[in-house]
Each structure stands twice: as structure tokens, then as C-alpha cells.
Structure 1
């Protein structure tokens, strides 16, 4: 998913497969803006925190909006957990990226990081995938990232409530 002009919460739009909305969330600001094809970097300016939320079109709209709002309300905690989950994959992929660089400056593309929040300048949210709440009302969602260290497959983190369930390529955020 990319280049979606989704309306601002609580309004929604849909296409053949998905329902969409956007929410400006304080925890998601400062990341890259990744609205290019396949989550490519689309602006050098940091994100203002506006993120596209999506769900399968069959999900009840009121559930979609309530779940999207819950994620937005917890964005500061969620981004911290997501960045922590991606540190290992960053280091694993960094070596491959360094081998492929020709004219690029490695400190700009894949610099050494010291804390998880250093990844904020190297990745951005493509979309947040909302799923039907699980047993006992668990909030289930995934964050799809475009990132410097894996520009072909992106990165993804899947959550239940505030617990990371899976991380890896972008598909980890939406393949349930």
C-alpha cells in the first residue's frame, strides 16, 4: 500500500479491498515520510506524525475507528517497542547494505546506532494495519515501515496490545 489519500479520522474511505483513515499521532512524528512507491522515502523533512491506518474492508467501520484511535492514543509507547524490536534486524541487514554501497555515504544510509530511537531517522511508517480484536478484546495491529536497511521488503512489527508478537520484513505487519 502506498500513496493513499485517506481522509482524516473519523472519516474513512475504501477501495475494493481496504478501509482507510489518517490520524496525526504524537508518537509517530519525527520518523521519515515514506509515501513513495513501496514505502520509499518521499521527503527529507521529518514526519509530523500523520499516519495512514487501514483494515480489511469487511471489518466493521466502528471497530476499525476505535482500534485506530487506541493505537494513536498509545503511539508513544508503541513506537518505542517497535524500534526496540527492529534493532537486531537493522544490525543484521546493515552489513549487506554496506557491501552494496557505491557512491553513497554509509553514515547517511546506515550509520552506527547506539539506541533504538536512532532508527527514527532511518525509517518511516507506510501504514498501520488494523485487525479484528482478538480474544478478550486484545488490540491487534501491525506497523509497516519503509526503511534504509531493507528497501526492497521493508520492515514490519506486529502487536497484540502493547506486546510485540513478531517482527521482520513488512509482511510481518499484515500477514496474520
Structure 2
């Protein structure tokens, strides 16, 4: 692991005219890999939010005791991809009906969550959740909460799939099939 791998990534920059969406959909490696493939997405930063510990580490997050969720901050150009469309991908890329779980990943850190940045985003997220419910037999358990402080994850979590797809079996077994299902990779 490179010397700076454990260093924390930088806060995402939101250029003028761009917007941010903060989303928890299980493992942030999977979520990041999907959003990085979408036209109109400027950047994706993996990190933690929604808990009670300042500047948590990945090791602390894994205990489930911090209250934080693994999330991504998706910076996007609303002229190319709307917030509604960003959320449409969110509902497709994970199972929002399982409480504190995505596949084999279990714990509050893997919860389904939308952390909104404005009253308009809150309104859109609530409408999107209501509309998405028609696609699921079980009730959606996704929380919709005002975005608290975001803590970027360590550098080794950033751009994870792109940098590790040939080295980490998780990428081949979990992330790659998800990208194929969503028709984002051959």
C-alpha cells in the first residue's frame, strides 16, 4: 500500500453550476463504481457521514459503533444529469428494502440513505422514494436526512474498482456483476 494510502482524501470540490448528492447504498466501492460511469458526473468521493464520531477511520466505521454510513458524494452537472436521474440510478444499484444490509455487508454503516443538501433536494428525494416503491414488493427503508458533515475516506478507498478490479476478488464477484446488470460495463 502506498505511503499516503491511509491519508484521508480531499473534500470534494463543487465547481460553480454543479450540484452534489450524498448517497449511502451499501459498500461505497460499489456505489462509486456505478456513478463514475455516468455521463454528467464530475467526481465521486467515498466517505462517511450520519454518525456521531468526528473524523472516523475505516476501522472505526467497520465496528458499526460510530453511527456513520459509508456514502459517496456525487458531484454532477445538472445540465447533463438531473438530481432525479441521479436518484433513479440510486434505486437501481442497491436493494433499498433491506435494513442495514446490502448482500453480505451487514450493519448500520451499510444502510440505505439519501442525505439532502437543500429543501429542493429533500422534496425530490421524497417524491423519488414514493415513485420507486412501485418497483419493490417490500417497503423501502431508505432514510432521507439533511446532510451532516462529510468525512472523506482514506485514499485507498477512492477510485477503488478502477484501481483494484484485477487484484481484488470482491471487485470481480460483486462490483463487476452489478455494473454488467446496470449495463455500465461489458
TM-score by length of 2: 0.28
Q: Which structure's residues are more often strand, by fraction? A: 1
TM-score by length of 1: 0.29
Whose relative contact order is higher, 1 or 2, with alpha carbons under 8 Å and at least 6 apart? 2
